[in-house]
Chains A and B, each alone.
Chain A
Amino acid sequence: MKGMNHADAAEAFIADEPRTDWHDDTLWFVREKRDKAAHGIPEWEQLREWASLIKNNVLSNMSKYLVEFEAKAIANGIKVHWAKDAADHNNIILSIIQENNVKKIVKSKSMLTEECHMNEFLIAKGVEVVDTDLGERIVQFRNEAPSHIVLPAIHLKKQDVSETFHKHLGTEKGNNDPQYLTQAARIHLRDKFIASDLAITGVNFAVAETCGFVVCTNEGNADMGAHAAKIHIACMGFEKIIPKAEHLAVFLRLLARSATGQPITTYSSHFSKPKADQQLHIVIVDNGRSRQLGREDFRNSLKCIRCAACFNTCPVYRRSGGHSYHTAVAGPIGSILNPNLDMKANADLPFASTLCGSCSNVCPVKINIHEQLWKWRQVITAEGLAPKSKQIAMWGMSELLARPSIYRFAGKAGRWVMRVFPFLTNNKLNLWYKQREMPEPPKESFRDWYQKNKK
């Protein structure tokens, strides 16, 4: 969906109606699992409050915690690297690969490396990069990007996966059984784990006080990679830092429940020192985060723990698919993070929302996502970057709303036109008519009714 804006890409997505409905229902099912898990914890709202306050404290003490973490990491035998931007990050990884003469690497899920387009960069340099999360391996075979940060292949049906595996892994044609397909991937990826010299993982949480980081997976792929390889590189955006290990209790209790409705992920792995004869590297990445930290209205977006609850609940995400957001992190949270990375290229995203507020209601760290979407719209419009159709409509509305007498006339005229000439509004030029029936116009305005009926 490169080069397309959200609205156009979404239009292509919804052309297949049964698939759109399936996508919508499936993500809503995940949302319902989240609700059930959350309702099972009486102190859920207290946990969200604690998580939010801890993350606020992190925003205020970011530099202190990072320096503290770094010092202890070095003392533990971990090599710490700092990357200003995506290019820095990719070059650091490449230099470790080259210094150690590595040819094959495995990777577990890291949205940061997606953000930095690391795979394309390394593959162009002749390095074999294998994604080991099942969903990520599926989309990698298909030359696609993940469409969801927790469920990377949620846009695909099992028939699609079956065809992809038949082509790349030689599985039986037409065998769509998820059990069979997963087993085929298990065998294929075990070979990759064993043959790989270097493993890259993401970081869910890094703890300043005791120095260590936590990686959460259900499949066990991060651990298979990290423990099998001679070199482990963990990549983290600097906002992943938290003050103390006891805070992990709050975040781990929220993360999996918010993401998939599980009480906890199968594996919550705590790394603090390299194993014997192993190199352990941590790359701490900025890539626009320090700029976002300085934006008062938007800095709270850095509190995100990447659970994707806001994706699953979003009526727009569920009906437009992750690829329509054309960025590594889609969904409502992506729409407030990405304009910071590139305001022009991502100017369409804050408009890909109904501002219903459901995202903010499910967010485990209480990010005011829908308010930030609304604020980004204002920033983007002020910068002259809003989509043209929105600019003209908004200009028209503001002219109209500033002049009460014209507003009253326009309302009357509109009601008359819709009654007498319905085809003038029920046509393709009216964007509101797409996918909708126009409502029956009322005979009189509220104002007229009120004038008549007031005592």
Chain B
Amino acid sequence: MSAREAILEAIIANQPAGNSLPEIDVNAMIQYDDLVAQFKLVLEGIGGRLIQVADNDAVQDMINEISKDKETIVNALEPTEALVRQLETLSLSSLAMVDLAIIRGSYGVAETGAVWVDEKQMVIRILPFICEQLVFVLDRAGLVTNMGEAYQRINTFETGFGVFIAGPSKTADIEQSLVIGAHGPKQSVVILVG
């Protein structure tokens, strides 16, 4: 008998009967009147930064501002085939030199300060993790109130890989002292449009 059959057989023999699934009522989860204010509060509380701009022109101005002192920049706001090919040919050592990556996020969650980004948006999976600074551009319409609503709106397993990112990478493994910038970005900015 294979390990698979043996395990499944033992489980079937031992699993208890009954226990139906509960209905999860997303409306019973916490709501916020002002999604932007709540998102900003939580994001800043976890070491991130929120910048609000009026329109796409203003986004470009803000990106120019953030890019000023950066050497290696990957702007993935238009994830074209050409950009995909270009990034795929880069070695990991080259990617580790990326100072700034700019990626479009699709949803922001007011409750947790997290931004959802899928594989198509990040172009290559390692980009939002290996860069020194990460900037998300997010539409105001993409803000949802809580994680329940986020999962209603997002088909999380659609593209092969997707991730909620809440603020910069961090650790408190040395005496519980918070240090920003463990393995991933040391700075995390969300530009909210509209």
Chain A residues close to B by CB (< 8 Å): 26, 29-30, 41-43, 46, 49-50, 53-54, 56-57, 59-63, 66-67, 76, 82-84, 88, 132-135, 138, 151-154, 156-158, 161, 178-179, 181-183, 186, 189-190, 193-194, 207, 210-212, 218-221, 223-224, 226-228, 238, 243, 245-250, 252-253, 260, 262-276, 284, 286, 290-291, 293-294, 296, 299
Assess whether B166 is in contact with A266, with CB atoms less than 8 Å apart. yes
Q: In the complex, what residues of A have CB within 8 A of residue B158's CB?
A: 272
**A20 and B162 alpha carbons, distance in the complex (Å):** 42
User: Using a Cβ cutoff of 8 Å, how many contacts connect chains A and B?
Assistant: 256
**Taking CB as reference atom, which chain B residue is nearest A133?**
B173
Assess whether B167 is in contact with A266, with CB atoms less than 8 Å apart. yes
Assess whether A238 is in contact with B174, with CB atoms less than 8 Å apart. no
Assess whether A84 is in contact with B179, with CB atoms less than 8 Å apart. no
Given contacts A50-B22, A82-B7, A271-B161, contact A178 B174 (CB under 8 A): yes
Is B163 in contact with chain A by the CB < 8 A criterion?
A: yes
Q: In the complex, what residues of A have CB within 8 A of residue B12's CB?
A: 63
Assess whether A227 is in contact with B129, with CB atoms less than 8 Å apart. yes
Interface of B is mostly: loop
**A345 and B96 alpha carbons, distance in the complex (Å):** 46
Assess whether B174 is in contact with A219, with CB atoms less than 8 Å apart. no
Given contacts A49-B22, A245-B157, 16 further A-B contacts (CB under 8 A): A56-B19, A57-B20, A84-B3, A138-B173, A161-B174, A182-B171, A186-B182, A218-B170, A220-B185, A224-B184, A248-B147, A252-B147, A266-B165, A270-B161, A291-B14, A293-B14
Q: Closest CB of chain A to B125's CB: distance in Å?
A: 4
Q: Closest CB of chain B to A82's CB: distance in Å?
A: 4
Looking at the complex, which of B23-31, B50-58, B68-76 is the stretch in contact with chain A? B23-31
Q: Closest CB of chain A to B19's CB: distance in Å?
A: 4
Assess whether B15 is in contact with A223, with CB atoms less than 8 Å apart. no
Q: In the complex, what residues of B have CB within 8 A of residue A193's CB?
A: 92, 183
How many residues on the B side are at the interface (Cβ–Cβ under 8 A)?
75
Assess whether A290 is in contact with B157, with CB atoms less than 8 Å apart. no
Assess whether B29 is in contact with A228, with CB atoms less than 8 Å apart. no
**Taking CB as reference atom, which chain B residue is nearest A213?**
B157
Bitwise, B135-179 to A at CB < 8 A (1) or not (0) is: 000000000001110111001111011111111111111111101
Q: In the complex, what residues of B have CB within 8 A of residue A220's CB?
A: 129, 169, 182-185
Of the candidates B13, B24, B113, B161, the one whose C-beta lies within 8 Å of that of A272 is B161
Q: Closest CB of chain A to B58's CB: distance in Å?
A: 27
Is B90 in contact with chain A by the CB < 8 A criterion?
A: no
**A266 and B43 alpha carbons, distance in the complex (Å):** 11
Q: In the complex, what residues of B have CB within 8 A of residue A88's CB?
A: 3
Q: Closest CB of chain A to B160's CB: distance in Å?
A: 4
Q: In the complex, what residues of A have CB within 8 A of residue B129's CB?
A: 220, 223-224, 227, 267
Of the candidates B15, B111, B161, the one whose C-beta lies within 8 Å of that of A269 is B161
Of the candidates B3, B11, B14, B182, the one whose C-beta lies within 8 Å of that of A218 is B182
Q: In the complex, what residues of B have CB within 8 A of residue A183's CB?
A: 181
Assess whether B163 is in contact with A269, with CB atoms less than 8 Å apart. yes
Q: In the complex, what residues of B have CB within 8 A of residue A266's CB?
A: 46, 165-170, 184
**A95 and B59 alpha carbons, distance in the complex (Å):** 50
Q: Closest CB of chain B to A275's CB: distance in Å?
A: 6
**Taking CB as reference atom, which chain B residue is nearest A284?**
B7
Is B103 in contact with chain A by the CB < 8 A criterion?
A: no
Assess whether A248 is in contact with B151, with CB atoms less than 8 Å apart. yes
Q: Closest CB of chain A to B96's CB: distance in Å?
A: 6
Assess whether B16 is in contact with A60, with CB atoms less than 8 Å apart. yes
Assess whether B175 is in contact with A158, with CB atoms less than 8 Å apart. yes
**A67 and B12 alpha carbons, distance in the complex (Å):** 12
Assess whether B16 is in contact with A224, with CB atoms less than 8 Å apart. no
Is B82 in contact with chain A by the CB < 8 A criterion?
A: no
Assess whether A153 is in contact with B174, with CB atoms less than 8 Å apart. yes
The 8 closest A-B pairs by CB, nearest first: A220-B184, A294-B14, A273-B160, A219-B182, A135-B173, A212-B157, A290-B10, A227-B126
Q: Closest CB of chain B to A184's CB: distance in Å?
A: 11
Of the candidates A42, A158, A264, A268, the one whose C-beta lies within 8 Å of that of B174 is A158
A–B complex contacts, Cβ < 8 Å, 5 sampled? A182-B182, A253-B111, A263-B46, A268-B164, A294-B13
**A182 and B175 alpha carbons, distance in the complex (Å):** 12
Of the candidates B24, B109, B168, B185, the one whose C-beta lies within 8 Å of that of A246 is B24
